[in-house]
Each structure stands twice: as C-alpha cells, then as structure tokens.
Amino acid sequence: MVSARESVAELPLARFLARCHAEFATDHSGEVATYIPELARANPSDFGIAVTTVDGFVYEIGDSAVPFTIQSISKAFVFALALDLVGHDRVEAVVGVEPSGDPFNSIRLGADNRPFNAMVNAGAITCTGLLCESEGGGASARLTDALGRFAGRRLGVDEATFESERATGDRNRAIAYLLRTHGVLKGDVDTVLDVYFRQCAVSVTARDLSVMAATLANKGINPLTGEQVASSYAVARTLSVMTSSGMYDSAGRWVYRVGIPAKSGVAGGILASLPSQLGLGTYSPRIDDQGNSVRGLRACEALSSHFGLHMLNSGGDVRTCIAASYDVGSVCSRRSRRPQELAILEAHHAECIVLELAGALSFANVEYVSRRIRSLQPQLSYLVIDFRRVSSISEAAAHLLAGALDDLVARRVEVVFSGVAKGTPLEASLSGWLGGKHGVRVIAALDEAIEWAEDRIIQRQDGHLDFQKPTLLAEQQLLTGLSQDELSSLADLMATRNYAAGDRMIESGDPAASLLFVGSGLVSVRLPSGVRLATLSAGMAVGEMALLETHRSADVWADTQVTCLELSLKDFTGFRERHPRAGERVMANLARLLSKRLIVANNKIEALASY
Ligand code: GLN
C-alpha cells in the first residue's frame, strides 16, 4: 500500500519542489548573516521549502521543520496588525508606501520625514511603536499571538537571538531616535525596540511561513484553522507594500521577474503569497548582499516562471461563473404536478429562469452575469439566482449585481436567492439583500425556490393548487383505464388512512407490503438524510414501488393533513388473479409513470451537464 507521505511525494507540485530543492541545494553562494551574533550559529546547509494551498494542503520538502527567527518577515504582519488595531488613518499618517531603493537598515527617511514604507526597519519600528501606544505592556504578547494565528499554531520567541540583537542593535537604536526626533515615534525608544527585537526573534519554520503566506493569499483567513486573522483591507494593503518593497532594494527586479508579493528576513526565510493561489515559505540561511536568502530567491523564481505565476499573468474565462442556466421547463422542481398544472407549466415555463452561479464572483464575472441577465427574454417573471457554489462575492461584483437587480425590479421580475448558507462570509456580503430587502426573496434550497416559482406561475394562470380537495379513485394516475366495476372491487380492498402534518407514513428499510393512493394533501418522499426526492399530491400513489421491490427505499412524510387509501400487496395480488386485464393495466400505468420520470430525470441531467 502507498503511504500518505509517499502519495504526497508523487503529486506533481511535490515532484517539482523536490527537483528545485535538489538543484538549489548545490548553490553555496551567499553568507549566513553575522551582524546579529546569534544568527551566525545557523547551519548554512539547511534548506527547506513548503507550500500551502488556499484550501489548506501543505507540501513540505527538506528542512521545512527547522526553526529559525522570522526577522523582517514579521514586518508585513505587524503592518497588517497595526492597520487593523490602530486604524489605517493613523498608520498611513506616519508610514509611507513608497519603495525606498535603500537597504533594509537604512537611516534615511523620506522628504516628509516619514519612513518610506513599513517593510524597511524605520517603517517597521514605527508600526511597532504604534502598537506599543495602543497595547501598552501587552504589545509584545499581542504581536506573538497574532503571528501564531497567521501560522495556525502558538509561536515562541528565540530568547538567545533576542538578547543577541538587543545587545548589538545600535543601528536600529539610531533609526528609532531619528524617528523620535521627527515625532513619528512616540514613547520610550528602548521599550519600543525591545518589542521590535522580540517580534524579529519569533521562531518559525518554512512550513509556518507557508501557512502565514497562505493566510495572506486567502484574504486573511487561515486555511488550516479557518480563523479570520486580519481584515481583507489590511491584507490587501500589506500585499501591496510587499509587492513594491518586500524585497528591499531589489524590489523592482523582483516584481518584474517573479511578480509574487514576498518578504524576506536576514535569518534566511522568505515568504511569498500569491492571492487566491498559494503561500510559499522557504528557509536557507545563506543570504546575498541585499539580505535575501539565495536559495529561497531561486525557489521563488523557479516556481513563478515554471508555472507562470506572475500576478499580472492571471486571467480566466469569466463565463465559468455561470455553472448552469435553464428555465423550469427543462429542470423542474421535485414537486410532482397534476395534469392541469403540468399543462400550465408546459405553456409558461419560460417565465422562470434559474442561474446557478459558481466560484469567487469578481468584477469581471458579474459584469458578464449582468449582460446575461439583461438579455433574458421579455416574458421573464421570476429569476432564481443560486449561490450554492459561490465561495465569495467581491464588493465590485456586489455593486454590479445590485445594478442588475434594480433593472429587474423595474421590469417587474421577482428575484429569488437560493443556496446562501447561514453564517458564511457570503451571507455577510449579501446581507444587504437578505431579509426581504429590495424585493429579493430568499429560499434556502434551490429545489424549493423553483417549486415556489412554479406555484406562482400556476396560480397566475388560475390553476388551483388546492391540494386538500379530495380526488376520486378514478382520477388516480396508476388506475387510469380501469372500468367502474374494476375500480369498485378494488375500492373494497382499500382502507382509509389519515395522517397529520409531520407524520411518517412509510419508513425506509421496512418491507414493502402495500401501496398508498393519495386522496388529498401533500406528501414528500425523502432520503433518510432529509433530501427531498419528490412531493406528491392527490391523484398520485406512494409506495407504488412495492409492485417491483421488496423493501422501502425512502421515507414518506405527510407535509399537510393527508388522506390516503391503502391497498395491501396481498390483496392486490388476489385482485390481479380475478381481474387479469385490470392488473395488467395497472402495471402498464406504472411502467409509463416510471418512464416519464426517467425522461424528466434525463432531461435534467442533460440541461445541467451541457454547461
Ligand atoms: N532584526 C533585524 C534588524 O532589524 C531584521 C532585519 C531583516 O530581517 N532584514 O536588523
């Protein structure tokens, strides 16, 4: 048997990463950083790569579990945290967003005496200062905790590296005093720097970095824990600054060649985050003159060029956001309709269209949807939009959808949303429309939404839906063509059964010993899981499969008060012997009903699959 580890190693991306690892491990250029004495103790041959997908699958190659200090990579997360905790106005007032073109530890500020950006030391120390102002003595714990939430586990601080940097960090002290001179940094320099040195000394692995990167790629939701760790505003701004300034003075070349927002640290870590795709974490302590890990850079470059992952290289077919589109003529609800209802639906099915949307709805997707909605036929009265397969809807997409809905309201089209799961981010994005606002109706299940629209179409055509009106035995579909005599001798064998709404009439797994003819009311056939297979009304039979099967294959529930006539299989067998022609007729009726059901099912499959 193939072990889980082996089967992961066989995945195409795992093989690619293993090849990169093997090739770049032979590159011995670059030097381990020594300006923080403790960093000099790193093993220069360590090399680990990890990739975490936005759905939370982690690939690991080489020394992906070796701990090292996060160093400057913390700057990205502290910037995001500052945006969320103290507000973007305050952060943006003291830190710029321009690339500096200087090394990370430059003592130069911008013309307005603000640090160039939050990815160089001056800007990072400023953000840490803001967090010290807002969190007081708890700033350091808060920061370590936040980094851990991004990584999906509690992280510790490498005390030796912290002490080592504190003892030698005069350059950062110089930067901090300069910031204080200009009023950018408030509070005590040593206190702020202690928090800064501690955040740099948080111990992580390449695997942790990949999860942290995937959290950024996933709009701030950690794909392993599901926790929203940072707002999507903070994440988008952080990725922006990482794009222009994450790789220090080689930032321009980085965007040009790799095109993935990234951040490196002098201990040898690199984190790269490609929105909606993946998070990459690498560790190799040999760094180049700019302070970037040599092998890590090569791994990022290889990944980007091999798979064409440059962020400006994205694209896709916007049309795939419509998973299916049909009218209720080809895909009807699971409600079995009586002949006069069927006739109405046959003539008016084009009045209700269903659009099943899918994926992450963006500006481009919904712009396409809006054109499709605009082109729907003039006789449209009901539009069901199903969101079951939609993962998210961007603000721009929501604006466009709102515009399209306004247009529908003006055309007197009633809109129904289905498939919006409770408590999801999607529900939050659509909340403006839920609760009956703007004339949008919300029905949980798509099938029920279609049934609702069918009911409306039937009612508008004066087709009565009075399911409590009793039906004659002669109107039973299964008994079509039987003579009066045959019907009355059959009636003698039947017993009346009454059920209250909510009663279980038939239980799945029981022996199938009788059939029930619905005289009035509504009954639903459901799988034990609750999934509805059909809803039947007067004139239809349930449990009729007893004529073919030995056991009940589903539950049958009374949805309303129900009256039935029950015929035992034993009595029916006797009846067939006495009335062979009628018996054959009933079996032929059953075959016809089953064949109709099959045709409907095939049409549905075709309508859904042809998309
Ligand atoms: N702690 C380090 C410093 O401030 C971080 C630098 C880095 O990773 N580039 O010097």
What percent of the chain lies above the pLDDT cut of 70? Answer: 97
Q: Which of 264-268, 290-294, 335-339, 353-357 has the lowest mean pLDDT?
A: 335-339
DSSP conformation class of 258: T
- Do both 487 and 592 map to the same domain? yes
| DSSP secondary structure of 116-149 | S-TTSHHHHHHHHHHHHHHHGGGHHHHHHHHHHH
* Lowest-pLDDT choice from 100-114, 423-437, 467-481, 509-523: 423-437
Do residues 238 and 110 both lie within one domain? Answer: yes
Taking the CA atoms of the chain, what radius of gyration do you get in angstroms?
34
pLDDT tier at 436 (50, 70, 90 boundaries)? low
Number of domains, the chain: 3
Does 467 map to a domain? Answer: no
Residues 254 and 392 in one domain: no
Is pLDDT at 469 greater than 80 in this prediction? no
pLDDT over 50 (residue 341): yes
Judgement on whether residues 493 and 579 belong to the same structural domain of the protein:
yes
The whole-number average pLDDT for the span 365-381 is: 91
| 158 Cα to the center of ligand 1, angstroms | 14
Last residue of a domain, one of 287, 313, 339: 313
Mean pLDDT of 340-350: 92
The C-alpha atoms of residue 543 and residue 105 are separated, in whole angstroms, by 79
Residues 375-386 pLDDT 10s: 888 889 999 999
206 within 8 A of 265, measured Cβ to Cβ: no
Tell which residue, 160, 130, 159, has the closest CA to residue 142.
130
Distance, CA of 354 to CA of 515 (rounded, Å): 35
pTM metric for this prediction: 0.73
Q: Residue 607: which H helix or E strand, with range?
A: helix 580-609
Within this chain, do residues 479 and 363 fall inside the same structural domain, yes or no?
Answer: no
One domain for residues 208 and 343: no
List the CATH number of the domain containing 363.
3.30.750.24
Whole-number pLDDT of residue 1 = 45
Identify the pLDDT of residue 248.
67
| Catalytic residue annotation | 72, 75, 196, 248, 266
- Say whether both 428 and 503 belong to one domain: no
Kindly state whether residue 420 falls inside one of the protein's structural domains.
Answer: yes
Element spanning 287, H or E? strand 286-287
- Domain end call among 264, 283, 313: 313
- pLDDT at site 4: 57
Of 152-161, 458-467, 596-605, the poorest mean pLDDT is in 458-467
Task: Among 262, 278, 313, give the residue marking a domain's end.
Answer: 313
Q: Are residues 208 and 267 in the same domain?
A: yes
Residue 445 is assigned to a structural domain of this protein: yes
Q: Clarify whether residues 342 and 260 are in a common domain.
A: no
Nearest CA owner, ligand 1 atom 4: 121
Q: What is the pLDDT of residues 477-512, one digit of tens each?
A: 999 999 999 999 999 999 999 999 999 999 999 999
CA angle 335, 337, 340 (to 5 degrees): 160
Can you give the pLDDT at residue 426?
A: 86
What is the CA(289)–ligand 1 centre distance, in A?
Answer: 14
CB atoms < 10 A from the CB of 568, how many?
A: 15
**41 alpha-carbon distance from chain centroid:** 43
- pLDDT tens figures, 123-148: 999 999 999 999 999 999 999 999 99
Range of the domain at 393: 318-462
Rounded-to-integer distance, Cα 164 and Cα 428, Å: 47
Q: For residue 124, which atom of ligand 1 is closest to its CA?
A: 4
Confidence at residue 6, expressed as pLDDT on a 0 to 100 scale: 62
Is the pLDDT at 92 greater than 60, yes or no?
yes
CATH number at residue 102: 3.40.710.10
Pocket test for ligand 1, best of 266, 270, 283, 288 (most atoms within 8 A of CB): 266
Q: Residues with Cβ < 8 Å from 601, sequence gap 6 or more? A: none
- Give a yes or no: residue 611 inside a domain: no
Select from 32, 36, 69, 71 the residue to mutate for testing ligand 1; criterion: most ligand atoms less than 8 Å from CB: 71
Q: How far is the CA of 200 from the centre of ligand 1 (A)?
A: 7
pLDDT score of 3 more than 60: no
Ligand 1 interacting residues, C-beta cut-off 6 A:
71-72, 104-105, 121, 165, 172, 200, 265-266, 291
At residue 437 the predicted structure's pLDDT band, cuts being 50, 70 and 90, is low
| Mean pLDDT along residues 149-166 | 98
HSE, side-chain direction, 13 A CA sphere, residue 575 = 23
pLDDT in tens, 218-260: 999 999 999 999 999 999 999 999 998 888 667 788 888 889 9
3 state SS of 535: strand
- Nearest-atom number in ligand 1 for the CA of 266 is 8
In a domain, 272, yes or no: yes
Quick check: is 299 in a domain? Answer: yes
Give yes or no for residue 45 having a pLDDT over 50: yes
Least confident among 264-278, 456-470, 568-582:
456-470
Are 116 and 171 in a shared domain?
yes
Specify if 468 maps to a domain: no
pLDDT bin (cut points 50, 70, 90) of residue 432 is: confident
447: part of which helix (H) or strand (E)?
helix 446-460
Q: Do 363 and 406 sit in the same domain of this protein?
A: yes
Burial 8-27 (b: 16+ CB within 10 A, else e): eeeeeebebbeebbeebeee
Average pLDDT for the chain: 92
- What are the tens digits of pLDDT across the range 100-129? 878 888 888 888 889 999 999 999 999 999
* CA 610 to ligand 1 center in whole angstroms: 56
CATH code for the domain of 551: 2.60.120.10
One-character DSSP codes across 538-564: TT-EESGGGGT-SB--SEEEESS-EEE
Whether residue 193 sits in one domain with residue 173:
yes
pLDDT score, position 603: 85
Give residue 2's pLDDT band: very low, low, confident or very high (50, 70, 90).
very low
Query: How many CB atoms are closer than 10 A to CB 408?
Result: 21
Interval between CA 26 and ligand 1 midpoint (Å)? 26
Q: Name the closest-CA residue to atom 6, ligand 1.
A: 72
Of the pLDDT bands very low, low, confident and very high (cuts 50, 70, 90), residue 32 is very high
What pLDDT does 409 receive? 85
pLDDT digits (tens, 9 = 90+) for 273-312: 999 899 999 999 999 998 899 999 999 999 999 999 999 8
Residue 371 domain flag: yes
